[in-house]
Amino acid sequence: MATVNPTKHLTNLDEWRRLGEAAIFPPESRVELINGEILDMAPIGFYHAGHLKRINKLFTRLVPDNIIISVQDPLQLGDFSEPEPDFILLKPNDDFYSSRHPNADDVLLLIEVADTSLKFDQNQKLHLYALHNIPEYWLLNLNDSSLEVYRKPNGDVYAEKTTLRAGDTLTLSQLPEITVRISDIL
């Protein structure tokens, strides 16, 4: 008897958006398109949500008025990926990205908050963000009470990784006038 392996049905952004317009997924569903695969994402718990609110409040005070803050909105990465990162600082855009989703060239800083999704964010998402040249990726590791900072994308990895804790500070690579105390987001 022959072995039958399951077939993956990959999709692209055009099909993905048509599925959304057809309301294939319920409004409360948490799905992302990553490398052509539609993936169910874990529900957001209160601990994760609280840290995201803390990040949002902090950056709302710190960034210049022309920088756009994006929270859990789509980011177009090529033709086969449209993740919804927890937090992004975006370059200025006159229509606030209402005529298109931002892409990698628009990103100044991308942050994922991770507890249950930690391994996925340290692997698949890290590789995706590096491959698309996201200049600075922060992974707020709630399991380890640390901030993993990835800079200098090189292929599908980052050449620089730094792990910071509550007593540390960090200056943004794309906005060097902004320094963050890590304790303010942990």
Amino acid at 105: D
Separation CA 44–CA 35 (nearest Å): 22
In order of start, what are the domains of the chain with their CATH numbers? Answer: 45-184 (3.90.1570.10)
pLDDT at 105: 98
Judge whether 83 and 34 are in contact, CB under 8 Å.
yes
pLDDT at 7: 58
Q: Which of 128, 170, 102 is nearest to 37 (CA)?
A: 128
Amino acid at 95: D
pTM: 0.89
pLDDT at 102: 98
Q: List all residues 6 or more positions away from 3 whose beta carbon is below 8 Å from its beta carbon.
A: none
> Strand, coil or helix: what is 120?
helix
Separation CA 23–CA 32 (nearest Å): 14
**Residue 59 neighbours by CB distance under 10 Å:** 22
H runs (alpha helix) in the chain: 13-21, 46-62, 118-120, 126-131
**Residue 31 neighbours by CB distance under 10 Å:** 16
Mean pLDDT per 10-residue segment, the chain (186 residues): 59 77 75 79 88 97 97 94 95 96 98 93 96 98 97 97 98 98 96
pLDDT at 10: 73
